[in-house]
Amino acid sequence: MNKNRLEAFSDGVLAIIITIMVLEFKVPTETTFEAVIPLFHKFLSYILSFIYVGIYWNNHHHMMHTVKHVNGNILWANLHLLFWLSLIPFATAWIGEHHFAPFPMMLYGIILLMNAIAYFILQTVILKHHGKDSILSKAVGKDFKGKVSVILYVIAVFATKYSIEVSGAIYILVALMWLVPDKRIEKILNENE
C-alpha cells in the first residue's frame, strides 16, 4: 500500500493536537500585563508540549521518507502512536491549570513514556516490514537516544512523588536531547541518492 494517506492523516492529526492545545488559552478579560500572569503555567506547559509534538512530527516525517510502502501492521502501529500523542493536550491543560502538581506531572510523564514506546513500536514494525538492510535500519542503528529517553521518562515519572522540579527538568532534558537535529536519516538518505 502507498504511504501517502498515512502521512496525510498523521499530519492532520498532529495539526489538530496543536490546535487543541492552543485553544486551552482563555483570553484575559483585562488588557494589562498583570492579566496575563495567571496564564504563565499554562504557557510553559504549552511550550513544552508544542516542542514535543513538533519533535514527533519531525521524526515521523523523516522516518516516513525511508518507508517505501505500508501494510496493516504499520497502519495500526501509526494509529497507536497518534492515540498517545492525542492525549498530550489533556495532560498539558491539566499540568498548566494546576501549576505542575505532582499527579498531573506524573500522568504527563506516563503519556510521554507511552508516546516514546508507541514510536519505538512503529519504528520496529517498519523495520520488520522493510528488513535489516533498509535505509531506516541503517539510520537507527542501536537507537541510543530512544532507549535513553524511555529510561529518563521512567525516572521522571517516579521522581514526581518526590520532586516535580526534578521530573520537569527531565522532561525538558529529553525534549532538548531530541531538539538537537538528528541527522541519521538525512545522512543515510543522501548517501543512497
pLDDT at 193: 62
pLDDT at 136: 83
By percentage, how much of the chain surpasses pLDDT 70?
A: 97
Angstrom distances, CA of residue 124 to CA of 89, 139, 165, 184: 26, 13, 33, 16
Compute, in degrees rounded to 10, the torsion defined by CA atoms 176, 83, 154, 117.
-90
Compare 19 and 185 and report the one with higher pLDDT.
19
In the DSSP assignment, the letter for residue 162 is T
Per-residue pLDDT tens over the stretch 160-183: 999 999 999 999 999 999 987 667
- Could you count the other beta carbons within 10 Å of the beta carbon of residue 103? 13
Q: Residue written as cell 501549576?
A: 99
**What are residue 182's phi and psi, to 5 degrees?**
-95, 110
pLDDT at 2: 84
Per-residue pLDDT tens over the stretch 9-43: 999 999 999 999 999 888 888 999 999 898 899 99
What pTM was computed for the model? 0.91
Check whether 157 has a pLDDT greater than 90: yes
Contacts of 115 (CB under 8 A, 6+ apart): 52, 56, 81, 84, 85, 88
